[in-house]
Amino acid sequence: MYWGGNPAECHPRHFTKYALMPKSKFLPRGRKDRTAVLVDIRPTKSAKAADIFLQVRPGKDFELITILRALIKDQKVSEEAVAETGITLEQCTDLIERMKKAKFGCVFFGMGLSMTRGKHMNSAALLTLAAEMNAFTKFVAMPMRGHGNVTGADVIMRWQTGYPFGITFNRGYPRYNPGEFSTVDVLVRGDADAAFIIGADPGATMPQPAIDHLARIPTIVLDPHVTHTSNLAKVHITTAPAGIAAPGTAYRMDEIPLPLKPALKSPYPTDEEVVRRIKQAIVKKPFWMPEGAQMTAAQV
Amino acid sequence: MLRITGGKVYDPANGIDGEVRDLFVSEGKFVASAEEGRTIDATGMIVFPGGVDVHTHVAGGAINFARAMTPEDHRRTQAFIRSQSRRSGIGGMAPTTFATGYLYAGMGWTTVNEAAVPVLSARHTHEELSDIPIVDKSTLTLMANNEIMLDLMEKGEYERAKNVVAWYIWAAKSYGVKAVNPGGVAAWKWGKDAKQLTSPIEGFTRLTPGDIISQLARICHELGLPHPLHLHCNNLGAPGNISTTLDTLNHLDGHRAHIAHSQYHAYGGDDWDEMRSETAQLAEYFNTHPNVTTDAGAVLFGDTVTITADGPWQHLLYKLTGRKWGNLDVENETGCGIVPYTYRPSNLVNAIQWSVGLELLLLIKNPWQVFLSTDHPNGGCFWRYPEIIQLLMCADFRTECLKKLPDKIKERITLPELTREYTLYEIATSMSAGPARALGLHHKGNLGLGCDADIVIYEEDKDVARMFGHPRYVIKGGEVVIEEGDIRATPDGHEYISRPHYAPDTDEFLRPLFEDCYTMQFENYPVEMERIEKPAIHDCVPNS
Amino acid sequence: MNKLTLRLKEQPTVPLEAEVLSPDTFAELSNEEIRSKTVYHGKRQCRLDDFFDVDGERSDDVEIHGDLHRVRWIGREMSRGRITVHGSVGMHLGAYMKGGEIEVHGNASDWIGAEMRNGLIRVHGNGGGQIGAGYRGSLKGMRGGTIIVDGSAGLEVGMRMRRGMIVLGGPAKDFTGLQMKGGTIVLLAGAEIRTGAWMMRGTIISLKPIQMMPTFSYACRYTPDVLRVYSRRLKELGVSLPYAPQDGAYKLYSGDASVPGKGEILVWDALSA
């Protein structure tokens, strides 16, 4: 099942290499041995690849998933209430029947689900549905991440700080609160007095108040290209492109680490080298925490 | 150079039991004498070899998933505040990498064995391990549910399977083989489990869990791996699983093995209401089979997060707790489940589990066979080991703790009858010399000449938990890393890697199979040696 | 006891974390000791008097003046006394609170009374999101006490709350009472969508019609006796809750069937005159 994602156009290898086409020991006929469902607000190119396309009304994903959670537990939901989602009760019942009959169900969800009204709760709904489906058969769910190696950033932040994102270090140790410490919220509220941006272009994607704040404060950009953010930054440092001219590891969206083997040489330093040199310079300055200070641990 | 003088030395590897001796260190090893350098006056203090954790989960995809799942624990637990010499981090149920190194070293443990690594995420695990400072490390590769290997075993191609196992160990840059719920994790891909050792596994026609156990034990022996098969038995945690465990041991066919966290595998009774301890039976097996070792997997009351490749068990635990559940399927290699859990003294099952862990440690007579562990973080967090030491050394304290358990427990356990108290010599064996020997790390857990100078020095204290929780000095590779409760140095540890022999055509044999069922390039799969920080390679000598 | 008065003299340029702003801290301290208490301006450790003029000492009756929208954690874990703020406050007002009273003549931000156990928080302006909620990952939100916000509120009000009461004078955004496990939320001006989503137990009372989740079902039209009790209690706090049969009755919806839960949403249905 794909929910709120359009792999045919956004993750072109997903069907052929991972999820729909491959032949395997238990699915020798490949695509023919699988049932594919797409749930989205409009019939995208991915709809053609699906056996079943369910067109959910915009902003009704959370309701639809919650209905499915009730129905798998044999709870009653009125026909009219279901119809509000753009899907009929009959369609829901049929979908559940197929889900329960599957030997191994897999749900991939995209930003059409996770970045629309309801956001993290939409994702939570689908993950919960997949968890609860295990009372009947094997079911898993996984997000289809958008940007390059955003998973890698998550993974490393987690092992070093315990948290994937939305972290502050101002009390000398990691604290977490998405909404309070996530980049976009910090910038929109004007809570930061400097910004250091590596391999991202918030100047192109973030809301205007965030962009305005980036232009107000000293912003430093590390990027192989001159980006929208570079144009409003005080400093831009050109770096070697990762994977093309800089080695390292990228984490696939399923958290499998892949080695990056550079094919080219770049005249520019890698991001890592620039950060290391900045760090070396900072170490020479007086340590920011007062000598012997008791940084009382604060919850959250 | 370093001299440690006047301490009471406990060095079971060399039969030294509390004798006052001087130790001399040069270039990270013990030497016969040293003229220069610092002298630590350890008069009146107790000197142990640094602790060795034979079975823990500190790095890799599973523990890292657990970290993400438990922000509520990070908030309330110990914070590691950044200093000029120390990185920041979080302690608690699933500590962050830097904190893991500080916490282990802080209580005198200097070597840890990460016991469950899928090859597919080995690169990730090694990256994490290089962020765990101070301690030396090794990893075990999950093999007992790897579909390529299972197919070979099903077809009766034992020699091929052996080559493939060796190839995987080297590809993962790991130290040995871990088997978790043989066949059961593969069956979990179908939403099933493998509970009978002699029944075919879901998805196979002939192959049984028993076959996997027998063949993997033999493979580990024949490859000459320094550590024998590290085995997590089928039916973990289930009432009445003692019969499965004993059956598993019989399938070893006389080969060496290490039975992981045996606490979870020593229960009688037919259901949760009837559950009871069957440690006497299991201990009897160990007492009559010196070729098999185990670690306790002891349970301590409190909050923790359970992490295991045993996916079906974790789904059951999720249904029992109704709390959070994470599940990871690792393609055709293995899987894992994560469930936060609270062990409560008022809960009869939990109380029995607490008792079973201690009973095994007390009933297995030879401390060279049973090692201190909580299967971190499953039974409790590793930084709570000093509490277990106290329970082992003080029978009165055990009696006090027993009073807090439900009355109904009396006929279910044998702990109240056990009066044995561990001596310091036995503790040193169980926490250091024994696990080091079982891992085949002969230069660890040993204060003899030429061995690694990993030392922990305690100030004698009647409060055993305090004494073991706060060593006066910890020395790693001859360097003082902990002194008076402070971290003084954070050197990088070594990583131990085994290089077993495999037939040269194994690459070409595996390539088409690999391309058939994996989602990454064959060339990208093996972990490059350059990625390992300070590797220490053990070349295996095959046994016939 | 005499009052302790603090006046913001220097507007923080980045968030100021000031959990020392609590009667528990100030009750036994001299003026000089209070002035020297540590606050965190970003990563910098500063003295309280770098930002505040402090008048008075040894008091658990604290009055704070100024635009404190960047000042976070006011009244954290307080167990006694009183804080009155003349101005707006930043996030986490009264989080983990155990007792005492906070009154804000101005707006407050997200996480008001998060995971509080007891006490009273009253905000005369607008509130933010996650009022009385559990922090991310926590199994339980507020476990007792009362929060009243005269104005509007943001997302996830009362998320996973276990006990206690939240009253909102203005409209709330989405997910009010998300995964609620107990307690009561009173919505005088209704809420946007997904009210009561994934509720297990507890009660949401709305005086305005609200959009119902499809997994809630209509049970009946009545006025439970407990409304009389709530009404009396809220009257003391200046909030009027109708319950008289001649004025109307409540439509009871139960859910959320997806859990399946036993939560209740009561929507006031006035008799037309």
User: For chain B, what is the radius of gyration of the CA atoms?
Assistant: 22
- With contact defined as 3+ CB pairs under 8 Å, the chains touching A are B, C
Span of A15-24, A122-131, B491-500 with lowest mean pLDDT? A15-24
pLDDT band (50, 70, 90) for residue A291: low
Contact by Cβ (8 Å): B265, B247:
no
Residues of chain A with CATH 3.40.50.740: 150-283
Chain C CB contacts of A300 below 8 Å: 92, 95, 135
Closest CA to A217 of A205, A226, A229, A199: A229
Closest CA to C69 of C147, C13, C25, C27: C13
> Which of C136, C178, C214 is opposite residue A84, by nearest beta carbon?
C214
pLDDT attached to residue C1? 60
Burial of A137 (C-beta count, 10 Å sphere; 0-12/13-18/19+): middle
**Contacts of A181 by beta carbon, 8 Å cutoff, 6+ apart:** A166, A167, A168, A175
In this complex, do B75 and C139 lie within 8 Å of one another by their Cβ atoms? no
pLDDT attached to residue B249? 97
> Which of A78, A192, A296 is opposite residue C14, by nearest beta carbon?
A192
Contact by Cβ (8 Å): C171, C151:
no
- Residue C198's closest chain A neighbor by CA? A66
Which pairing describes strands B334-343 and B302-308: parallel, antiparallel, or unpaired?
antiparallel
Judged against a pLDDT cut of 70, whether residue A124 lies above it is answered with yes
**How many CB atoms lie under 10 A from the CB of residue B534?**
12
- With contact defined as 3+ CB pairs under 8 Å, the chains touching C are A, B
- In CATH, A150-283 is 3.20.20.140: no
Residues of chain A with CATH 3.40.228.10: 2-143
Residue-wise pLDDT for C173-206, tens only, equals 999 999 999 999 999 999 999 999 999 999 999 9
Contact by Cβ (8 Å): C120, C94:
no
A13 touches chain B (CB under 8 A): no
Judged against a pLDDT cut of 80, whether residue A297 lies above it is answered with no
- Please state the separation of Cα B388 from the chain's center in Å: 15
For chain B, residues with pLDDT lower than 50 are none
Model ipTM?
Answer: 0.94
Task: Please compute the mean of the pLDDT values over residues C75-91 and round it to a whole number.
Answer: 98
Judged against a pLDDT cut of 70, whether residue A295 lies above it is answered with no
A259 touches chain B (CB under 8 A): yes
* Percent above pLDDT 90 for chain A: 88
Judged against a pLDDT cut of 50, whether residue A208 lies above it is answered with yes
Q: Give the DSSP H or E segment for C40.
A: strand C38-41
Closest CA to A107 of A132, A71, A140: A140
The helix, strand and coil proportions of chain B, stated in percent and rounded to the nearest 5, come to: 35, 25, 40
Which pairing describes strands B479-483 and B473-476: parallel, antiparallel, or unpaired?
antiparallel
pLDDT attached to residue A289? 77
In this complex, do B79 and A17 lie within 8 Å of one another by their Cβ atoms? no
In this complex, do A251 and B528 lie within 8 Å of one another by their Cβ atoms? no
Q: Which amino acid makes up residue A187?
A: L
pLDDT attached to residue A300? 47
Chain B CB contacts of A155 below 8 Å: 64, 124
Contact by Cβ (8 Å): A69, A59:
no
Residue-wise pLDDT for B389-430, tens only, equals 999 999 999 999 999 999 999 899 999 999 999 999 999 999
**How many CB atoms lie under 10 A from the CB of residue B505?**
10
Contact by Cβ (8 Å): C174, C192:
yes
Contact by Cβ (8 Å): B114, B83:
no
Q: Calculate ∠ Cα B194-B197-B199, nearest 5°.
A: 70
CATH class, domain A2-143, is alpha beta
Chain B CB contacts of C135 below 8 Å: 71-72, 75
Q: Which amino acid makes up residue B124?
A: H
**Which residue has tokens 């200070």?**
A293
